[in-house]
């Protein structure tokens, strides 16, 4: 019994294995067919991709060749244009450099000529300085400088050079309404020049003391000779022809104080110009005052003439009033005479009209 059951179970197991094998074979067959179809599709896709890739490569090669030709042509044109621009710029730069070189050469020539003139001027200045070491020539130069300043600022009729003041002759004299202003330009410079040239302190100090004494003496001489009111003002000017010398005086306040006590004012070329400008303004004010007086006199004459004209105008008015009255009376007479004539023409002349006409004909005016 058990053997038969085992055989049955064995048969069932064999049938199950056989069925499972058949099922597995069926599914394997179907899967193989599907894989084959997929592989075929993939082969077709691969071939299509190869075709598309070939066409794309062909187009890409054509586009690359065209782009290469266009790029080469553009680069060639750009290179030619750039080369032409560089050539023109080089030529323009060369021309400008040539012009600048010519200009620089000309300026160098001008500079050389200027340098030569400066050297010549320096030589002339040295000679001039050597000439001014002579006191007489130095004094004449101071007088010349003073005269030029006066001519530039003061009216010609208001100043005089080398004018007499009493028994002495002053270098310049400016006339004012309150007296003459005397200007002396003979300033002592010898000892100061020697002091500045000396390197020995003791000698230099001694020369500066002598210079101070010279200045005091000159101040006294100016005060005695050129301050004599009312012919002159109560002051005079001492013209110092160099600014550095004037600064030396400023460093010596005792000299300036002494000059003030003697009513002598030291002036340099710059301060002298300021004084002369003030005088020139005063002269312009005097001229304006004189012109104003002339205008006032002219206005006074004009007023008198206008008053006479007014009198004549009033008389003419009265005459015109009388003439107008006479004209009005004559017009009334003409109107009455015209009325009488009109009555005579129409035959209506009355007795009164006849008497009026007879009177007018006889030359008797109306009452």
3-state SS track over 177-243 = CCEEEEEECCCCCHHHHHHHHCCCHHHHHHHHHHHHHHHHHHHHHHHHHHCCCCCEEEEEEEECCCH
**Boundaries of domain holding 107:** 87-117
**CATH number of the domain enclosing 156:** 3.40.1350
Q: Residue 245: which pLDDT band, with cuts at 50, 70 and 90?
A: confident
Q: Residue 20: which pLDDT band, with cuts at 50, 70 and 90?
A: low
Do both 190 and 229 map to the same domain?
yes
Mean pLDDT, residues 249-253 taken together? 88
Final residue of a structural domain among 267, 292, 308: 267
In a domain, 141, yes or no: yes
194 pLDDT more than 80: yes
70 pLDDT more than 50: yes
Do both 108 and 194 map to the same domain?
no
Looking at the DSSP bridge assignments, the partners of residue 169 are 164
Do both 103 and 169 map to the same domain?
no
138 pLDDT more than 70: no
Q: Do 256 and 250 touch, CB atoms closer than 8 A? A: yes
Final residue of a structural domain among 232, 267, 302: 267
In a domain, 309, yes or no: no
Q: How high is the pLDDT of residue 214?
A: 92
Nearest to 267 by CA among 195, 181, 208, 155: 181
3-state secondary structure of 87: helix
Tokens found for residue 335: 């109107």
Q: How high is the pLDDT of residue 126?
A: 47
Do both 145 and 104 map to the same domain?
no
Number of domains into which the chain is organized: 2
Do both 195 and 159 map to the same domain?
yes
In a domain, 273, yes or no: no
Final residue of a structural domain among 234, 267, 300: 267
Do both 224 and 258 map to the same domain?
yes
Do both 211 and 109 map to the same domain?
no
Do both 108 and 144 map to the same domain?
no
Tokens found for residue 198: 């000396």
Handedness of CA 248, 251, 257, 258 (dihedral sign): negative
Do both 190 and 239 map to the same domain?
yes
- Strand pairing category for 179-184 and 168-176: antiparallel
């Amino acid at each position: 019994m058990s053997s038969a059951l085992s055989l049955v179970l064995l048969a069932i197991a064999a049938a199950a294995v056989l069925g499972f094998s058949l099922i597995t074979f069926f599914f394997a067959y179907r899967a193989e067919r599907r894989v084959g179809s997929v592989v075929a599709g993939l082969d077709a896709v691969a071939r299509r991709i190869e075709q598309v890739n070939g066409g794309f490569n062909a187009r890409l090669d054509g586009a690359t060749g065209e782009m290469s030709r266009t790029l080469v042509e553009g680069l060639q044109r750009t290179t030619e244009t750039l080369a032409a621009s560089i050539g023109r710029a080089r030529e323009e730069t060369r021309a400008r450099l040539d012009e600048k070189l010519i200009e620089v050469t000309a300026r160098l020539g001008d500079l050389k000529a200027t340098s030569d003139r400066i050297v010549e001027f320096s030589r002339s200045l040295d000679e001039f300085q050597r000439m001014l070491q002579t006191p007489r020539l130095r004094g004449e130069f101071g007088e010349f400088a003073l005269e030029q300043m006066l001519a530039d600022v003061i009216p010609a009729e208001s100043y005089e050079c080398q004018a007499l003041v009493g028994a002495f002759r002053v270098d310049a004299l400016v006339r004012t309404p309150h007296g003459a202003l005397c200007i002396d330009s003979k300033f002592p410079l010898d000892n100061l020049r020697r002091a500045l040239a000396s390197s020995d302190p003791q000698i230099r100090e001694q020369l500066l003391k002598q210079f101070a004494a010279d200045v005091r003496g000159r101040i006294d001489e100016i005060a005695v000779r050129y301050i004599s009111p009312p012919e002159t003002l109560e002051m005079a000017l001492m013209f110092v022809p160099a600014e550095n010398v004037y600064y030396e005086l400023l460093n010596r306040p005792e000299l300036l104080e002494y000059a003030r006590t003697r009513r002598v004012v030291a002036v340099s070329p710059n301060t002298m110009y300021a004084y002369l400008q003030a005088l020139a303004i005063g002269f312009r004010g005097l001229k304006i005052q004189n012109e104003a007086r002339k205008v006032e006199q002219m206005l006074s004459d004009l007023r008198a003439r206008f008053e006479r004209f007014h009198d004549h105008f009033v008389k003419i008015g009265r005459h015109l009033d009388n003439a107008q009255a006479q004209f009005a009376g004559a017009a009334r007479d003409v109107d009455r005479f015209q009325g009488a004539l009109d009555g005579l023409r129409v035959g209506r002349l009355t007795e009164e009209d006849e008497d009026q006409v007879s009177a007018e004909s006889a030359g008797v005016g109306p009452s």
